[in-house]
Amino acid sequence: MGANDQSLIGQSVRRKEDVRFLTGVGQYTDDVVHPHQTYAYFLRSPHAHAKIRNIDTAKAKAAPGVVGVFTGADLDGVNGLPCGWLITGTDGKPMNEPPHPVLAQGKVRHVGDQVALVVADSVLQAKDAAESIDVDYEVLPSVVSCVDALKAGAPQIHEQAPGNKCYTWALGDKGAVDAAFAKAAHVTKLDIVNNRLIPNAIEPRAAVASYSRADDSYTLYVANQHPHVERLLMTAFVLGLPESKLRVIAPDVGGGFGSKIFLYAEETALVWASKRVNRPIKWAAERSESFLTDAHGRDHVTHAELALDKDGKFLAMRVQSTVNMGAYLSTFASSVPTILYATLLAGQYTTPAIHAEVTASFTNTAPVDAYRGAGRPEATFVVERLVHQAGVDMKMAQDEIRRRNFIRTFPYATPVALTYDTGNYDATLDEAMKMADVAGFAARKAEAAKRGKLRGLGYSTYIEACGLAPSNVAGALGARAGLYEAGQVRVNPTGSVTVFTGSHSHGQGHETTFAQVVAGRLGIDIGNVEVIHGDTGRIPFGMGTYGSRSLAVGGTAIVKALDKVIAKGKKIAAHLLEAAEADIEFADGKFTVAGTDRSKAFAEISLAAYVPHNYPLGTLEPGLEETAFYDPTNFTYPAGSHICEVEIDPETGVVEVVAFTACDDFGNVINPMIVEGQVHGGVAQGIGQALLERCVYDAETGQLLTGSYMDYAMPRADDLPSFKVGTKVTPCTHNPLGAKGCGEAGAIGAPAAMMNAVHDALLASGVTRIDMPASPHRVWAALQAARA
């Protein structure tokens, strides 16, 4: 790294994107206005499970302002929505992959399933017309629990999935695990529910589709995290169009957290219909629709066991999970509770044998897919709850039982398919314990007890696999796509730089972080770097943003493109300075002949490249623009220690998070301010899961009971404390930035830390099990039951 790197890398540069958001001139999808645009409204199923005997749209078609009414029967030649990851079951067969229609075909399978699309001059007219559509439903029994769905006699949701099973999949050496359990001194067992969550980005999903007769092409604005993948899936798999006929623009996007990765029916129907009505169509989800139809997260029911020797060394782990896919397979649904889950069950520990078996079922609920952390929070929750309970069972301090089992030699191959490249788990634990003042906890607990309150301390020493992903590894595991990233660096004639990235920012601040990387490497002013993302019409084919991959994978692609730019710059400089190319050095924005003061500024080189009057035209093309694709050689492994302190009022059951500390190792950090912000947000979502949030469907009717902000408890400012956040660094060994990723860590580590604190606080009262969320009612009832 050159000298200028130091001036930008590691600096909390204030964000370039902020002014437009702070002055109200950001452009989110719902802000896009096309002349002559129409508005879409989706008529949705009020039933969890029903046959559609007939749909009568005659009245709706004749209603004022209506320009089109479409049902499943109209979608000739339109395929179902694809699933991007093939899981092969323990029976050697591919998972059951029932069709996922864009508009219902003869049956609806969850409340909110889309039945008809009405397009009209105004939303009101579209809604009025939709109300006049007569759907003759034959209501069927429904099932919402992933466990109940697998029971004999459960309502059958798809013909193609007998017994509602998607797959049973396993990872690990079962024989070795059984043998280790047979000789264990102690076995800790837990039953765990990982509560179902609704992502709730504050910007609801939205799309605006338009069709151009001039060149038979489409443009789609959509609140989405990876426009190229959206385009590929929609054109190649569903609509049967060449990709080149669809431009997908994901403009400013108001948060994603996974829920905007997926290809949804609504935007697909809009694109299709925009040609039929030959006018632009806008749709913005109402929050109620988001609750009903955004892909949900988590929803696991697990039995887990940990075998230990007499000294507290972990010998083996056995995990059995039943997981909910919802009514249809969403884009990456199948990979989340398998590839992104069971592979993380080693945690930070040397557990030599691990076996996990996962059964996925279909239910009459919204599809379930990746939500911040995606599989890794579920794995961490299993591991860290088990470790906590083992510490309690064996009367060992919580830090001690962890330290006895930490991995300390790298690279380390786990028994569940991953190889950790680097880490220092003692360092993050030591630091977190200092930051959390663990030494003073006993005194704080005693003081709380005087006030009649129960204090508890909980740890979570988590790991995640990020920087998705080596394409060949992912392919071998069933991915139907590559997972590289693309970056393009266009040096403009006077030396300003436009960077085109396949990564997508929906809050992560790429316009700033990536500009820091580029300005640092080129030794130019950060104000001269513009980062462009989110538009298939402008950026190279890229895989988008999820899995904490943007800097580690997308940033590396940019660095590789920069390397090419600098290499070409050296050739130009060698010509202009009449020196050998090998003698040209690049630093601080200058190309210099080594050992001399003869140099050319970066902008002089770029100008020469575009005004090649004195230029080696015979051997070198003019212009200064390079593209690179980067496919990582391994996952990255961010890890850290989270420590949560809670205080419980036994009279009311109210749990207060009084302190939360996170010390994380994200590898090298480009912008500490942005990284801290990511941790804050992730921790808030993790505490949200542990303390407040829970998606509930009525078991009888399949109605969503938590369908608004009045029923679904989002974390609000006064539910949370200020968090203490720190970092320790072991640079990633296999990308040039040494970066690991930070976007999901908070959501991964926090739930276990908090629930361990809750269990610690309640231990003396005899309470052994509280499921998430630790609501006052649950805690109070458990205390009452323990007293009785």
Partner 1 sequence: MLHDGLAAGAATSAGVATGALPSHRSRSILPIRNVQSSSTAVTGRFEESPLSVQLSLSVNGRAVTATVDARTLLVEFLRNELALTGTHVGCDTGQCGACTVLLDGRAVKACNMLAAQANGAKVMTIEGLAAADGTLHPMQAAFKECHGLQCGFCTPGMVMSAVDLVERHPKADEKTIREQLEGNLCRCTGYQNIVHAVQQGAAAMAK
CB of 741 to partner 1, least distance (A): 16
**Which CB atom, from 375 or from 507, has the smaller least distance to ligand FES?**
507
Torsion angle of alpha carbons 410, 416, 418, 421, nearest 10°? Answer: -10
Residue nearest to ligand FES (CB): 202
Residue 772 corresponds to which amino acid? Answer: M
Report residue 102 CA to chain centroid gap.
24
Among 199, 467, 502, 507, binds ligand FES (CB under 6 A): 507
Is 616 among the residues that bind partner 1 (CB under 8 A)? no
CA–CA distance, 307 with 299 (Å, rounded to integer):
25
**Which CB atom, from 747 or from 770, has the smaller least distance to partner 1?**
747
**Which CB atom, from 173 or from 649, has the smaller least distance to partner 1?**
649
Binding pattern for the stretch 122-151 against partner 1, x by CB under 8 A and - elsewhere? xxx--x------------------------
Q: Which string of b and e fits 514-547 if b means at least 16 CB within 10 Å?
A: bbbbbbbbbbbebebbbbebbbbeebbbbbbbbb
Among 61, 245, 680, 734, binds partner 1 (CB under 8 A): 680
CB of 744 to partner 1, least distance (A): 13
Of the candidates 522, 517, 587, 520, which has an alpha carbon nearest to the alpha carbon of residue 552?
A: 517
CB of 721 to partner 1, least distance (A): 9
CB of 685 to ligand FES, least distance (A): 11
**Which CB atom, from 297 or from 507, has the smaller least distance to ligand FES?**
507
Both tokens assigned to 744: 């999901």
* 413 SS3 class: strand
Are 249 and 7 in contact by the 8 Å Cβ rule? The answer is: no
Is 255 among the residues that bind partner 1 (CB under 8 A)? yes
Q: Which string of b and e fits 721-758 if b means at least 16 CB within 10 Å?
A: eebebbbbbbbbebbbbbbbbbbbbbbbbbbbbbbbbb
CA–CA distance, 329 with 96 (Å, rounded to integer):
9
Among 101, 112, 254, 640, binds partner 1 (CB under 8 A): 254
For residue 663, give the H/E element and its range. strand 655-665
Q: What are phi and psi of 446, to 5 degrees?
A: -65, -40
Is 22 among the residues that bind ligand FES (CB under 6 A)? no
Is 650 among the residues that bind ligand FES (CB under 6 A)? no
CA–CA distance, 249 with 235 (Å, rounded to integer):
14
Is 633 among the residues that bind partner 1 (CB under 8 A)? no
Is 15 among the residues that bind partner 1 (CB under 8 A)? yes
751 binds, among partner 1, ligand FES, none (CB under 5 to 8 A by kind): none
**Which CB atom, from 321 or from 727, has the smaller least distance to partner 1?**
727
In degrees, rounded to 5, the angle at the alpha carbon of residue 644 between the alpha carbons of residues 297 and 324 is 15
CA–CA distance, 678 with 513 (Å, rounded to integer):
13
In sequence order, what are the beta bridge partners of 358? 169, 321
**Which CB atom, from 254 or from 743, has the smaller least distance to ligand FES?**
254
Binding pattern for the stretch 201-240 against ligand FES, x by CB under 6 A and - elsewhere? -x--------------------------------------
**Which CB atom, from 470 or from 682, has the smaller least distance to partner 1?**
682
CB of 254 to ligand FES, least distance (A): 6
Which DSSP category does 264 fall into? Answer: P
**Which CB atom, from 113 or from 252, has the smaller least distance to partner 1?**
252
Q: How many CA atoms lie within 13 A of 307 on its CB side?
A: 20
Is 23 among the residues that bind partner 1 (CB under 8 A)? yes
Handedness of CA 413, 417, 422, 425 (dihedral sign): negative
In degrees, rounded to 5, the angle at the alpha carbon of residue 149 between the alpha carbons of residues 711 and 117 is 60
Are 657 and 644 in contact by the 8 Å Cβ rule? The answer is: yes
**Which CB atom, from 101 or from 507, has the smaller least distance to ligand FES?**
507
Both tokens assigned to 364: 């009459």
Is 705 among the residues that bind partner 1 (CB under 8 A)? no
**Which CB atom, from 183 or from 716, has the smaller least distance to partner 1?**
716
CB of 513 to ligand FES, least distance (A): 16
Is 446 among the residues that bind ligand FES (CB under 6 A)? no
Is 509 among the residues that bind partner 1 (CB under 8 A)? yes
Which range touches partner 1 (CB under 8 A), out of 71-79, 210-218, 286-294, 640-648? 286-294
| Residues shown for the chain | 788
Check whether the bond before 397 is cis (ω within 30° of 0).
Answer: no
CB of 592 to partner 1, least distance (A): 37
**Which CB atom, from 202 or from 594, has the smaller least distance to ligand FES?**
202
Is 255 among the residues that bind ligand FES (CB under 6 A)? yes
* 320 SS3 class: strand
Which residues within the stretch 186-205 sit at the binding site for ligand FES (CB under 6 A)?
202
Which residues within the stretch 446-475 sit at the binding site for partner 1 (CB under 8 A)?
none
Are 165 and 357 in contact by the 8 Å Cβ rule? The answer is: no
Is 716 among the residues that bind partner 1 (CB under 8 A)? yes
For residue 88, give the H/E element and its range. none
CA–CA distance, 509 with 672 (Å, rounded to integer):
12
CB of 203 to partner 1, least distance (A): 4
Is 554 among the residues that bind ligand FES (CB under 6 A)? no
Is 26 among the residues that bind ligand FES (CB under 6 A)? no
CB of 507 to ligand FES, least distance (A): 5
Residue 71 corresponds to which amino acid? Answer: T
* 587 SS3 class: strand
Is 215 among the residues that bind partner 1 (CB under 8 A)? no
595 binds, among partner 1, ligand FES, none (CB under 5 to 8 A by kind): none
103's torsion region: left (phi>0), alpha (psi -120 to 50) or beta?
beta
CA–CA distance, 683 with 660 (Å, rounded to integer):
9
* Site residues for ligand FES per CB under 6 A: 202, 254-255, 507
* Site residues for partner 1 per CB under 8 A: 12, 14-15, 17-28, 30-31, 33, 39, 121-124, 127, 200-204, 252-255, 257, 284, 286-288, 506-509, 673-674, 676-677, 680-685, 708-710, 714-718, 720, 722-723, 746
